[in-house]
Every structure is written in C-alpha cells, then in structure tokens.
Structure 1
Amino acid sequence: MLASCSKDSDNEWLRMALPKSASTDGEQLFGLWLGAWIAVGVTFLIVFTLIIWSSIRYRRRSDDYVPVQVRYHLPIEMLYTVAPVIAVAAFFFHTVEVQNDITEESKNPDHVITVVGQKWAWTFDYMGEDAVNGKDVFDAGAPDDIADLYLPVGESVRFELRSPDVIHSFWIPEFYRKLDVVPGEENSFEVTPDREGTFKGRCAELCGMYHSRMLFNVHVVSPEEYDAHLRELEADGNVGAPMGGAESHTIKGLEEAEEEAS
C-alpha cells in the first residue's frame, strides 16, 4: 500500500496500472480495457449484493420457520439465461470491433521490420525501404547483450514475426499489444509510435531455460535519428539477413525428424 503512494506512479490510478501509451492504438485499447473493468465491477456488485441480500432476507429465523422454497420459477430462470448472454454479447461486440480496427494492416506501411525470436535473444532485420545502399541491415542480440530496436516516431511500422525454434511472444508493454512468434507461421501486426522515448520489450511466452533473458530495448526516435542508426548498422557490418532471420521460416529439427521417420 505504501509503495502505491509513490509520486512516480500517481497517474497509474487513472490508467488502471497500465504504462503510459506510446502508440496510436493506445486510446482504443485502453478504452476496451477500462470498459471491461467497469462491466466486471458492475456485475460483481450486482451478484455480491444479491448474495448478501438473499442470505439475510431468507435466512432461517427459528426452528419452526422454513423459507419458502421456489422451484421452476420461469421468469427467474429466463433472467439467469438472458442476462449473461446479453453481457457476453456486449463484451464480444466491443472486443471484435477494436480487434478488427487495430489488426487491419495497410498495403504500404512506412517501414517493415522482420522480428526473429530465437532461443534466447531477438534479431531485428530492417528491410525494404529501410535498406541501406540496397542491403538489409540488422540489430542482433544475445542473452548477455540484449538487442536494440529503433523505431521512427509518427511513422507506421509492420512487424513480421518469425521463429526458427519454439513459440515466443513479442511484447512492448507501452504499445498495449503482443503477438505470438510461432515456428512456421507468418504472424504480423502494425503500429505507429506516437511518443519518443526508450522502453523495454520482452518475450511474454515461457520458451525455455533462459526465457527471462529474452529482453530488448525499444528506442522511439525522430526519423532523422532512425536513418542515422541504420547507417551506423551498415558501418558496423550488420548487413544482410542474420542467421536467425535466414532460418526463421523453418522449424528447427523438423527435416531431420521427417528423414528419420521415412
């Protein structure tokens, strides 16, 4: 309780403990999150009040008194059925509405970055329009040297998620979104960062012994700083598809297993 009184977290009460958003999707996702909590709170109050009220109102007051036993009460049974269906339908409608909006991808995003999650580090391959002198450049990390992901503020970025080994999950808390990185599957999503800063990213799927070390830094910078970083990667020799990226479309060990089975 004392820790929650910190001046650094005074705004977290208003955000329901969520971090301050750093993407254009934040407002919609926070609205869905807040609405769900309000609905849950109202449901809890109604159910809890009915439990307390019925326990007091219909309690057994003496050995000679037995409360009236109600069976096959059609109006109540209909209420028990209809009310939850209406509540779930409302939750479902708003969830699908927000989901369809934020998962819609543009045909030509400003940037395309291939994200490779491998045991136990991240690799970020800057492709297409971000190629330097016609060559892709990349940031690669290791469990003891986490990778850096650079993003330009105010410009759309599509993350293409790949894994050569097991299921990982690409998560940047300030974007209010995460998505599984599944071997053999080409998952992707698109965001537009709207606030400069340095944030922490991580794997949100238990993927093995060093899962806790699958971290990365996210730097949302100006477009000029973003371009300068890509040129630095070229100067450092981080050019071409890294090993993780080259193997990210296959499942590790699958070909050997098929050969042994045949």
Structure 2
Amino acid sequence: MSSQYRTGSRGSAKAKVIALVGAGALLLTGCTAEAKRGWLPNVERDTTNHTGAIQDLWVHSWIAVIIIGVMTWGLMLWCVVAYRRRKTDTGYPRQLSYNLPLEIFYTAIPLVLVLVFFSFNNTVEKSINAPVDSEVVVDVRAKQWSWDFNYNYEGQKKYFAGEQAHLNTDGSAGVEETLPTLYLPAGKSVTLELNSRDVIHSFWVPAFLQKLDMIPGKTNYIYLTPQVEGTYAGKCAELCGEYHSEMLFNVEVVNDAEFKAQLAKMEDGHIGEEYDRQPNKVNSVVVEHGHEEGGK
C-alpha cells in the first residue's frame, strides 16, 4: 500500500476519534447543574414577575427557528435529489435567468418572519420596560470594580458602599460571603436605577433573565418584582478593565421584615454622583470617606 493511502487512513481514524471525543464532551455538559434543563433557560418561571414572559419568548423563538430550519434543510435536500444529474442526461440543464414567483416567495417569507419575530419581541420588551410606581427604588452605581447601592424605601434613604472583591491567590473563587450584596424584598415592586461612576458597565443577574448597560452620564432603569426568596449571583457583563472578572455581587431576596432589618444596619444618606469619576480627575484621590475617585 502506498504511503498516501496509509496517511489518509491514519487521518481518517484521527478525525473519528476527535469527533467521538467532541460528541462525548457535548453529552457530558448535560450532566452539569448549569445545563440541567438543556436548551431551556436554567431559571424558574416565577423568580421575578418577568421571567415567565422572557422564557416563553425564548422557547417559542427556538421552536419557530427549529421548524424553519427543518423546512429549509428539507427543501434543500429535495432540490438535491429531485434535480440531480441522471445517467441519461447529456449536456447542461436548461438555464433560467429568473423565476419571478420563486423570487417573490423567498423574499416575502423571510420578511414576514422578521416582522413576526419583531412583533413578539417588541411586545415582551415593552411590557418589561414599562415604568411602574415602585415601592422600592435602588440607585445602583457601578465602579471599577465594585458596586454601591442606595436605597429609598418608605422615606428612608440608606446606602451600602461595596469594596472590590478579589479572588484567592490561586485564582479560585472564595469571596462569595464578602461580595457586595443587593437586598430586595420579595413581593414588592422595585425600580433599579443603573448608573456608572467611571466607564461602561453592565448590570446582570442571570436568574432574573434581565441585563442592561450602565453608561456614564445616563441612567437606565430595570423594573421588576422579585417573587422567590433566595440568593442570586450578579456580575458585570461588560468588559470594563483589568479586574472585570472580579466585579461580582450577590442579590438577596428576603421577606419584608428581614429587608427592613438589613436597611437598619446600613448607613444613612445617599452616595450619589458626587463620587463619580470626573474626566479631569481620573487619577485624583478623594480624601473624604477615604476612597479613590470612583466609589467608596
């Protein structure tokens, strides 16, 4: 046997091994806690008042694109089989410069699909972003690389100023209990006012299925009602500098009594834009409150 055949055989065997390993790894990911629900969002429907609607949009979109994909691949395979070259064929097949009905079809159908997807997405987005007169207002201020939370509840103004979290020296996690914590009362409507003290950040609590950018000089809003008590992980979802990966926080959804007890432990007042980083004071240090420009 020539060397080229032996090389081809070895290459084919290697490709099969790689394919089997890849398929095995893909199947094993289904055993992890993060992927326990497969292609469904790994979030309960009632975590907030919006998670159910967001899940429905996600799942229905997947169903629609799967159906469209199957139909598209079916038509492609049908064309391959129906119009394949037969043994009795000679020369080239008859050439067509255009087919008006077909061109109208493959232009109109995608346009209808886009409009339908846009309609459903716009309906859900408008319902989620509709302003409400919330019982709790939290001014969330992102900073390199931590978070400040200012609460306004029943006339009380309280604040919590977070410190930057650090990973262990070996690079592993280990700061869960020391992360800045955002407390929210279950069953009460909440407005999160999202602001940045320095650069663009992004507020993301995966369990809430909502994420929104935080832009210097602009306030964005998230309206929601937490419905399930528990601890949820939060993070910055926008690359914002050297320690972006450590810009983490926790969300504690608690009952009203515990929420009031946590407020009582916080400082009175509001840490607002007076501690935002100014363009001409990027490297300055604020002596008052003993923290660098950009947050306490």
TM-score by length of 2: 0.76
Matched-pair contact (CA < 8 Å) for 1:139–1:149:
no
- Mapped partners of 1:42, 1:3: distance in 2: 25
In the alignment, structure 1 residue 226 sits paired with structure 2 residue 259 = yes
Please report how far the alpha carbon of residue 217 of structure 1 lies from its aligned counterpart in structure 2 after TM superposition: 0.6
Partner of 1:5: 31
Q: Which has the higher contact order (CA 8 A, sep 6+)?
A: 1
Query: How far is the alpha carbon of 1:245 from its aligned partner?
Result: 4.8
1:49-88 maps to which residues of 2 (within 5 A)?
A: 49-62=74-87, 64=90, 66-88=92-114
CA contact (8 A) 2:181 2:249 kept: yes
Is 1:35 aligned to 2:64, yes or no?
A: no
Gaps of 5+ in 1: 257-262
SS in 2 for 1:83: helix
Letter in 1 for 2:70: L
Partner of 1:142: 164
Partners in 2 of 1:129 and 1:206 — Cα distance?
Answer: 36
The answer on whether the counterparts of 2:204 and 2:210 sit within 8 Å (CA) in structure 1 is yes
Could you say which residue in structure 2 is the equivalent of 1:247? 275
RMSD over aligned Cα atoms: 2.2
Distance 1:148 1:25 in 2: 22
Q: Percent identity?
A: 37
Output the CA distance in 2 between the equivalents of 1:117 and 1:130. Answer: 24
1:166–1:182: 8 Å Cα contact kept in structure 2? yes
Corresponding residue of 1:115: 140
TM-score (norm 1): 0.85
Look up the equivalent residue of 1:41 and give its one-letter code.
I
The SS at the match of 2:269 is coil
Q: Residue 20 of structure 1 aligns with which residue? A: 44
Residues paired across the two proteins, number: 243
CA separation in 2, counterparts of 1:17 and 1:194?
A: 17
How far is the alpha carbon of 1:128 from its aligned partner?
Answer: 4.7
Q: Deviations over 1:179-225 (max 9, x none)?
A: 10000111111110010110100111111111101110110010110
3-state SS, counterpart of residue 24 of structure 1: coil
Residue pair 1:141, 1:148 contacting (<8 A) in 2 also = no
Greater Rg over alpha carbons, structure: 2
Contact preservation (8 Å) 1:203, 1:211: yes
